[in-house]
Amino acid sequence: TCSATGDPHYRTFDGKLFHYEGRCSYVLSEDVDNTFKVYSENEPCNGGRFACTKAITVKVKELTMHVARGGNVTVFGIAVRLPYKKQGN
């Protein structure tokens, strides 16, 4: 597994730990077939001294899910509650 925590700290699939203070949007993970991507959007925090994760966006095929700091979740831009289950096809 991989993870992103704190201001922000990233652990890769092979266990390496990175402390990265970038203040933009970054691809955290994607597959070679381009069927999924996970993005992290960072922003300045603590008076601009650090960067904090603002939101995580997950794209799987046609599904786009956005999880903002504080737990607000949207699917295709519509607020949803977790656990989320896609209806229909």
Domain range holding 11?
3-79
* pLDDT above 70: percentage of residues in the chain: 98
Structure confidence at residue 89 (pLDDT) = 62
The string of DSSP letters for the chain reads --EEETTTEEE-TTS-EEE----SEEEEEE-TTSSEEEEEEEEEETTTTEEEEEEEEEEETTEEEEEETTS-EEETTEEE-SSP-----
Q: Look at residue 87 and tell me if it is in a domain.
A: no
Structure confidence at residue 2 (pLDDT) = 78
Residues of the chain with pLDDT under 70: 89
- Which pair of structure tokens corresponds to residue 34? 């381009």
Q: Look at residue 20 and tell me if it is in a domain.
A: yes
Question: Rounded to two decimals, what is the model's pTM?
Answer: 0.79
Q: Look at residue 86 and tell me if it is in a domain.
A: no
The length of the chain, given as a count of residues: 89
Count the domains in the chain: 1
Q: Look at residue 85 and tell me if it is in a domain.
A: no
